[in-house]
A and B are shown apart, each in its own frame.
Chain A
Amino acid sequence: MTNLPRAVVLLLGLLTNLAWADGRLLATGGASSIEGAAGGGITPWAVLSGYGERGEWGADVFATRVETGDYRLDVAGVGASFDNRIELSYARQRFDLGTLARNLNLPENSLSQDIFGLKVRLFGDLIYEQLPQVSVGIQHKRQKDFLIPSLIGAQRSEDTEGYISASRLILGGAFGYNLLLNGGVRYSRANELGLLGFGGDRRDRHSVLKEGSLAVLFNPRWALGVEYREKPDNLSFAGESDWADLFLGYFPNKHLAVVLAYARLGEIATLDNQDGVYLSVQGSF
């Protein structure tokens, strides 16, 4: 975590010398997903971080907390895009085991991982062209506290996964309001995002996992939407539930976004009914 502020300062310093980026319309950079890629909260979208259009840079920094009562997930990260074509992102996740660590007297009370992301827009445009915006991405994940995952059957502490995502903003598509549609497929074997390692005793192969979201923009600044993310089920010690959330996004200007959500995370590492509050704050440059 100590390297993160330094990276942010470095990135900001770099950006002040580059083409200023606000060529895209408000909210079309999305928020920052919990894995660092531009998107919603729990899924990446085909849009790229920041507001850079052709020939411009865009970037964002974000911090997110998800609190379920039993668990807490903290995420901080950065994303940068160039030319509305390519996006690089980094996120550090820290998963606080709270109740579970106390109940089971676990050797560690939190699990962390680093996520390095690359996303490339293949074709299309979010709003204007005939085809929707379609991007592919890869995420390389390094779980940092592998003792507990190894004891419950996880096979490795490091893995790479890929996804393809299509996004479209339909002007007036929801009873006159703008409608954002997003659908994607992920190829992954990450247990609980990778916080519980990758692959398991039950299944050690990548799964094809569906992700999607839908949002209505009541005006350029406010969005209300839902997200869904299918998850694999690789470990026999506990089930892993698909995730869903209901979110409210506020984009007062091209430098700030705040997302508040109610997330249904189901069973996580034997504790069921993990419903929680999600709050994310993003700064864009």
Chain B
Amino acid sequence: MRTLLLIVVVLMLAACAQQPPKDASLYHELGEQAGITRIVEGMLLNIAADPRIVRHFENIDIVRLRDKLVEQICVEAGGPCSYTGDSMEESHKGQHLTPSDFNALVENLQDAMSAQGVNMAAQNRLLARLAPMRAQIIDR
């Protein structure tokens, strides 16, 4: 029982609140502005071919979406950017996204990062930055 409690405590600490990135190392590993742009564009192309979630991306300004996603990932990776888009709650309002939709996007992002040759540790660091946003994105 003590082992279980210890594990639970460790897991809770690991899931603690989001801190700002402490340096720009992830930004560099993702290939800076150009690399992040290629990752975002790759992800959007993957989504365009993904029947699970493509409907959520119809009738939106895809160029603006790309620019805001690049800004956002740049900020989360510790890069020299500022995010000028709407809040996560605001931008997903009325879409009623499910946990499955969120995971589908994660898979499209992973594929895009792999296609750009981003190493696994950097991929996981970015996913760990984005994972806490799920609560602000789904069920809006």
The answer to whether A and B come from one shared complex is yes
Interface residues of A, Cβ cutoff 8 Å to B: 22-26, 53-56, 84, 127-132, 164, 166, 168, 170-173, 175-178, 181-185, 208, 210, 212, 218-220
16 contacts between A and B (CB under 8 A): A23-B98, A54-B98, A128-B135, A130-B15, A131-B11, A168-B11, A170-B11, A171-B127, A175-B121, A176-B119, A176-B124, A177-B120, A181-B11, A183-B7, A183-B8, A184-B4
CA of A199 to CA of B47 in the docked complex: distance in angstroms? 55
Query: Closest residue of chain B to A26, judged by CB?
Result: B107
Is B12 within 8 A of A131, CB to CB?
A: yes
Whole-angstrom distance from the CB of B105 to the nearest CB of chain A? 11
Whole-angstrom distance from the CB of B72 to the nearest CB of chain A? 18
Residues in B with CB closer than 8 Å to A210 are 1, 3-4
Is A176 within 8 A of B110, CB to CB?
A: no
* CB of B131 within 8 Å of the partner chain: yes
B interface residue count range (under 10 / 10 to 19 / 20 to 34 / 35 or more): 20 to 34
CA of A47 to CA of B28 in the docked complex: distance in angstroms? 35
- Of B103, B121, B125, the contact of A24 (CB 8 Å cutoff): B103
CA of A172 to CA of B4 in the docked complex: distance in angstroms? 22
B103-117 interface bits toward A, Cβ cutoff 8 Å, 1 = contact, 0 = none: 110110010000000
CA of A56 to CA of B98 in the docked complex: distance in angstroms? 11
With A131-B15, A185-B1 known as contacts, the answer to whether A166 contacts B7 (CB < 8 A) is yes
Which of A128, A130, A177, A184 has the largest count of B CB atoms less than 10 A from its CB?
Answer: A128
Number of A-B pairs, beta carbon distance below 8 Å: 93
CA of A220 to CA of B54 in the docked complex: distance in angstroms? 23
- Of A23, A25, A53, A171, the contact of B128 (CB 8 Å cutoff): A171
With A128-B135, A177-B120, A184-B4 known as contacts, the answer to whether A23 contacts B11 (CB < 8 A) is no
* CB of B91 within 8 Å of the partner chain: no
With A170-B11, A176-B125, A212-B7 known as contacts, the answer to whether A129 contacts B99 (CB < 8 A) is no
Is B103 within 8 A of A23, CB to CB?
A: yes
* CB of B63 within 8 Å of the partner chain: no
Is B98 within 8 A of A183, CB to CB?
A: no
* CB of B100 within 8 Å of the partner chain: yes
- Of B100, B125, B127, the contact of A53 (CB 8 Å cutoff): B100
* CB of B14 within 8 Å of the partner chain: yes
* CB of B34 within 8 Å of the partner chain: no
With A25-B103, A220-B110 known as contacts, the answer to whether A129 contacts B7 (CB < 8 A) is no
CA of A183 to CA of B6 in the docked complex: distance in angstroms? 9
* CB of B140 within 8 Å of the partner chain: no
Known contacts A131-B12, A164-B4, A171-B131, then 20 further A-B pairs from the complex at CB < 8 Å, ordered by chain A residue: A24-B103, A25-B103, A25-B106, A55-B98, A56-B100, A84-B99, A127-B131, A128-B132, A129-B15, A132-B7, A132-B11, A166-B11, A168-B11, A172-B128, A176-B120, A176-B125, A177-B124, A181-B10, A183-B7, A220-B110
